[in-house]
Structure 1
Amino acid sequence: MSKNVSAIKKNQVSLRNKRKNKSYKSAIKTLIKKYINSLDELMDLNNTYVCTLKLSAVYKKIDQAVRKGVLHKNQGSRKKSMLAKAMKISISRIKTI
């Protein structure tokens, strides 16, 4: 490890940012998993309102991560698109039954 003061500080800052970024990414992954797992269960009850509330919570967390610079805006858009597509597929599955 370097003894240069600026290098030491840079290392500390990068470790701090790594912890923050990891917590954001972990929270997003957890919310996405919970949303996908509950999607089938909620759609069986034909409760689209609860699904849209959960979807908006995930969208909010993704948008926060994009604003903070944790995720690139295109990656955030891809994640949101994937979630909307999953909901659309679940709704269409119910309508065909």
Structure 2
Amino acid sequence: MANTSQSKKRARQADARHDINKARRSRIRTFLRKVEEAITAGDHAVAVEALRLAQPELARGVTKGVLHKNTVSRKISRLASRVKALDKTAA
């Protein structure tokens, strides 16, 4: 338990950041889920649009310190390759 006023304040700040980061992670997961659903449905146009909207959201997660840079880079790369493969199977 926090004893000093400084440690109490840091505990309050940590709680606030936790709530903000939790909401941000949830928002990112929602964007990723939309891309996954479009890929599963086999709809290339919707998948491309969903990926286009998801990329800045993932990048924002990096700048806010919620996700690691390489993790986001890997996710975007894998999603992009799956969306691109979806176009080849449709054609």
Gaps of 5+ in 2: none
Matched with 2:27 is: 27
Q: Is 1:59 matched with 2:55?
A: yes
SS of match in other structure, 1:71 = coil
- Report deviation, 1:41: 3.3
**Equivalent residue in structure 2 for 1:74, among 70, 73, 78:** 70
1:17 corresponds to 2:17: yes
Cα shift at 1:89: 2.2
Q: CA deviation at 1:81?
A: 1.1
| Aligned counterpart, 1:8 | 8
> Could you tell me the TM-score, scaled by structure 2's length?
0.85
Separation in 1, partners of 2:26, 2:61:
11
Contact 2:28 2:57 (C-alpha < 8 Å) held by counterparts: yes
After superposition, the CA RMSD in angstroms is 1.6
Give, in angstroms, the shift of residue 40 of structure 1. Answer: 4.1
CA contact (8 A) 2:2 2:11 kept: no
Does structure 1 residue 41 correspond to structure 2 residue 41? yes
SS at match of 2:3: coil
How far is the alpha carbon of 1:53 from its aligned partner? 2.2
**Aligned residue pair count:** 91
